Amino acid sequence: MTNRHVLSSLTLAVAAATLSLATAGRAVELDPAAVAYVTPDQFKWRDPTGQAATNQTVLYGDPNKPGLYININKFKPGRFGNPHYHPNDRYITVIDGASWRGTGPVMDPAHATRVPKGTFMVDHATKVHWDGTKEESGAYLITGIGPATNIEIPKNNGPWAGGDPSAATIILPDQIPWRDHGSFRLASLAGDSDKPGLFVQMLTFSHYSKARISAARMSTRFLSSPPSSPAPGGSAPATSMTPPTWRCR
């Protein structure tokens, strides 16, 4: 199963975006029939105490079942997982801190690549990889087509003999292929937004976009937002939607 998988002939999208929503003089009120969103205080973490070395909140779907899922995994400093693979491709945006990634059957942090916030990655189906954290904490926004089974391979103590370049794609922040569209910039990272199937884009907005109707459900994660952005006419906004927030429209 790949990113061409089609669910009920519906094009599905996941976008990691930078955006501030505001109006002059009044709070933003969104039509729940058009946009559903969840703010960080509403996230349901697997460990609500935040003490676990790895924590997870599921934002959409169920990673254990067939179909589209979206979740956030966050990691405390100083932990590495064992080499493993997944049956389907996974699309990952680093949304906080920095993690370290490697490929192949031998887990060796000395040969890992640092992936800071803003990095986009693909874990390719059935290919062995591993990751973890060093001094910094980290967090991933992950989407894919389930089930997102985590299959560990037998432990291999090495020695290190090189990784597998086909196991993962890593696009660092300064490598994101941005294209300027005037009021916004867009980077297409996976899939094709003009064809059925899952696609992934990053967007940044400098000001308001026109009202529009999406032909399919769009899932968005706000990575960052300025504390206040001028509303039309130059007046300061009364409120803004600040990150990290998830929405579906």
Q: Is the backbone peptide bond immediately before 116 cis, with ω within 30 degrees of 0?
A: no
pLDDT confidence of residue 216? 46
Per-position pLDDT tens, the chain of length 249: 443 433 333 333 343 333 333 333 345 677 877 777 888 889 999 999 999 999 999 999 999 999 999 999 999 999 999 999 999 999 999 999 999 999 999 999 999 999 999 999 999 999 999 999 999 999 999 999 999 999 999 989 889 989 999 999 999 999 999 999 888 889 999 999 888 888 899 888 766 555 555 444 555 555 555 444 333 333 332 323 334 444 444
Half-sphere exposure for 53 (CA within 13 Å, toward CB)? 8
What is the token pair recorded at 164? 């597998």
Q: What is the pTM of this model?
A: 0.77
| Domains (range + CATH), the chain | 12-248 (2.60.120.10)
Q: Say how many C-beta atoms besides its own lie within 10 A of residue 166's C-beta.
A: 9
